[in-house]
A = this chain, B = another copy of it.
Amino acid sequence: MPDTNSKKAQANKVKDPFPSGATVVQVAEAAGVSPSTVSRILNGSARVSDEKRQAVEKAIFDLNFKPNQLAQSLKRGLSMTIGVLTQAIDSPFFNETLRGIEDALTSIGYAPLIVSGNWNAREEAERIGLLMARRVDGIIILTGHLDDDTIIRFSEHVPIVATGREFDAPRARSIRLDQVAGGYLATRHLIDQGHRRIAHIAGITAHLDAVDRLAGYRKALEDAGIAYEPRLVVQGDFREAGGLMAIAQLLERGEPFTAVFAANDQTAYGARLALYRKGIRVPDDVSLIGFDDLPASLYTTPPLTTVRQPMHEIGRLLVDMLHALIANKPARFALPELKLVIRETTSWQR
> A102-B89, A112-B114, A133-B66 in contact; A17/B125 too (CB < 8 A)?
yes
Residue of B nearest to A271 (CB): B299
What distance in Å separates the Cβ of A328 from its nearest Cβ neighbour in chain B? 18
Contacts of A115 in B (CB 8 A): 102, 106, 111
Given contacts A16-B125, A16-B153, A71-B74, 8 further A-B contacts (CB under 8 A): A16-B150, A18-B154, A68-B135, A89-B95, A99-B116, A240-B299, A276-B301, A276-B302
What distance in Å separates the Cβ of A224 from its nearest Cβ neighbour in chain B? 30
What distance in Å separates the Cβ of A22 from its nearest Cβ neighbour in chain B? 12
Q: Is A168 an interface residue (CB 8 A)?
A: no
What distance in Å separates the Cβ of A171 from its nearest Cβ neighbour in chain B? 14
| Alpha-carbon gap, A113 to B157, bound state (A) | 22
> A111-B113, A154-B16 in contact; A133/B69 too (CB < 8 A)?
yes
Identical copies in the complex: 2
Q: Are A298 and B240 in contact (CB under 8 A)?
A: yes
Q: Are B90 and A134 in contact (CB under 8 A)?
A: no
Interface residues of A (CB under 8 A from B): 16-20, 66-71, 73-74, 79, 81, 88-90, 92, 95-96, 98-99, 102, 106, 111-116, 125-126, 129-130, 132-135, 150, 153-154, 157, 240, 244, 269-270, 272-273, 276, 295-296, 298-303
Q: Are A269 and B295 in contact (CB under 8 A)?
A: no
| Alpha-carbon gap, A300 to B303, bound state (A) | 11
| Alpha-carbon gap, A319 to B51, bound state (A) | 48
Q: Are B18 and A132 in contact (CB under 8 A)?
A: yes
Q: Would you list 27 pairs from A and B whose C-beta atoms are within 8 A, ordered by A residue?
A: A16-B125, A16-B154, A17-B129, A18-B157, A19-B129, A19-B133, A67-B133, A68-B133, A69-B133, A69-B134, A70-B70, A70-B135, A71-B74, A88-B99, A89-B99, A90-B92, A90-B99, A90-B295, A92-B296, A95-B95, A111-B134, A113-B113, A269-B300, A273-B302, A276-B301, A300-B300, A301-B301
Contacts of A133 in B (CB 8 A): 19, 66-69
Contacts of A67 in B (CB 8 A): 133
Q: Are B90 and A79 in contact (CB under 8 A)?
A: no
Contacts of A125 in B (CB 8 A): 16-17
Contacts of A81 in B (CB 8 A): 113
Contacts of A113 in B (CB 8 A): 81, 111-113
Q: Are A116 and B132 in contact (CB under 8 A)?
A: no
What distance in Å separates the Cβ of A286 from its nearest Cβ neighbour in chain B? 13
Contacts of A69 in B (CB 8 A): 133-135
> A134-B111, A157-B18 in contact; A272/B301 too (CB < 8 A)?
yes
Contacts of A129 in B (CB 8 A): 17-19, 66
